[in-house]
Amino acid sequence: MEQNYIITREDWSLHRKGEVDQHRHKEKVREAIKKNLADIVTEEGIILSDGRRTVKVPIRSLEQFRFQYDTRKQKHVGQGNGKTKVGDIIGTDPQQGPGKGPGAGEEPGADYYEAEVTIDEVAQIVFEDLDLPNLEEKRNKKLASESVEFRDVRKYGIQSNIDRKKTILEVLKRNALKGNPGLHGITPEDLRYKTWEVIPKFESSAVVLAMMDTSGSMGPFEKYIARSFFFWMVKFLRTKYENVEIVFLAHHTEAKEVTEDEFFTKGESGGTRCSSVYKLALEIIESRYSTDDYNIYAFHFSDGDNLNSDNEVCIRYIDQLLLKCNLIGYGEIEGPYYYTSTLNTQYKRINHPRFISVSIRDKSGVYPALKTFFKNQDQRGG
């Protein structure tokens, strides 16, 4: 007997299928972003853009499981009496993938497609585990962060916010009342949706001092790495906190406060005296930011090529800053010509929980630096 299947508007399995596919696609995109995050955060198109561009991330295509002959024609061992003995090597993991190795290859490649995502979508993943560390209670409370809390369940909403547990309970209750218990026959009237509220959380105020070496020894690579870090730092602070203040300081042998645009675009030259920027930071803190009212953070990026006579002065100023700052972060960019007597070598003598230094050798080191400096309290064990 031939059976006919009719799809109707009441066939909610189709809606469920679309939701599953959409959710699966989002998860694959998110997985691809996380896998390529270290490269994405230093993508030149992002750093030099106005922040409204999209980026492309490669996502491997989804294929059904299937049996496939071994194209490498290696010998294998199956059941039965073979000629192998205990201890024989019967196979090794391949060291080269398709398209890798010298010369033209003959192996088929893996299919993938590129998904376009906005910088905000990337930022959401980059920032999800980041926080201003060591925030303390201060008198001046105007730093507001926002959190989303699901506080109610309603009969109407968007498909992605379906509360499955509440929906199932409604189906079970309705079927039981009709004398036909069980989980079947979901109708639109059974659907329940979670609704949320944006809850502002007022915290103590904070100021972040962004300090960058712009001397002649900072070549295009070093400046690009430093600007990449500060680009994401600024975006993180302004995304997660409403009233955080950021002060931009640039230095060579002398330090000066600059605008945000000058900080990210203007180049300098000359020698390097890092103590000048620490001295200026102390003066700004003492004149504008009382430690009773502000949580204070300072982050400095340099190639570490400082005047030897200035190193001891730097350490003395950092000791003074540690009395005022919640955290001091120093990032040293190791260029192609690496000197063992860099500033970071001297800073290893500083043994203080609120002083953290990192070394960056290539673009992939920017994201770990962000994670190190802005690690949240749970990750710090605090």
Report pLDDT for 283: 97
Best CA proximity match to 330, nearest among 310, 350, 363, 302? 302
Residue type present at position 299: F
Task: Report how far residue 196's alpha carbon sits from residue 125's, in angstroms, rounded to the nearest whole number.
Answer: 20
| Tokens 């490669």, located at residue | 58
* Token reading at 250: 């640039």
Q: Is 207 helix (H, G, I), strand (E, B) or coil?
A: strand
**What average pLDDT does range 43-65 have in this prediction?**
59
Q: pLDDT-based confidence at 84, cuts 50/70/90?
A: low
Query: Which one of 3.40.50.1980, 3.40.50.410, 2.20.28.90, 3.50.50.60 gives the CATH number of domain 205-380?
Result: 3.40.50.410
Average pLDDT over residues 276-300: 96
**256: exposed, middle or buried (C-beta count within 10 Å: 0-12, 13-18, 19+)?**
middle
Residue 364 CB neighbours (<10 A): 13
Helices 119-127, 12-35: axis angle to 10 degrees equals 70
pLDDT of 218-245, one tens digit each? 988 999 999 999 999 999 999 888 778 9
Domain boundaries, the chain: 12-60+114-128, 148-201, 205-380
Chain centroid to CA 140:
29
If one compares 247 and 153, the residue with the highest pLDDT of the two is: 247
Structure confidence by residue, pLDDT tens digits, 163-219: 888 888 888 888 888 888 888 888 888 888 887 776 666 667 899 999 999 998 898
Q: Which pairing describes strands 205-213 and 143-154: parallel, antiparallel, or unpaired?
A: unpaired
Structure tokens given for 366 = 């920017």
Query: How far are the Cα atoms of 26, 77, 134, 310, 381 from residue 237, in angstroms, in the given order?
Result: 26, 58, 15, 32, 22
- Please report which confidence band the pLDDT of residue 382 belongs to, taking 50, 70 and 90 as the band edges: very low
Q: Between these two residues, 190 and 318, which has the higher pLDDT value? A: 318
Half-sphere exposure of 180 (CA within 13 A, CB side): 7
How much of the chain exceeds pLDDT 90, in percent? 34
* 12-26, 187-201, 313-327, 342-356: which is most confident: 313-327
What one-character-per-residue DSSP string does 3-53 give? Answer: ------TT-HHHHHHHHHHHHHHHHHHHHHHHHTHHHHTT-HHHHTS-S--
Q: Indicate if the pLDDT at residue 367 is higher than 90.
A: yes
Residue 316 has pLDDT above 80, yes or no: yes
Find the mean pLDDT for residues 156-167: 80
Segment 242-272, tens digit of pLDDT: 778 999 999 999 999 999 999 998 877 778 8
The vertex-301 CA angle with 297 and 304, nearest 5°, equals: 130
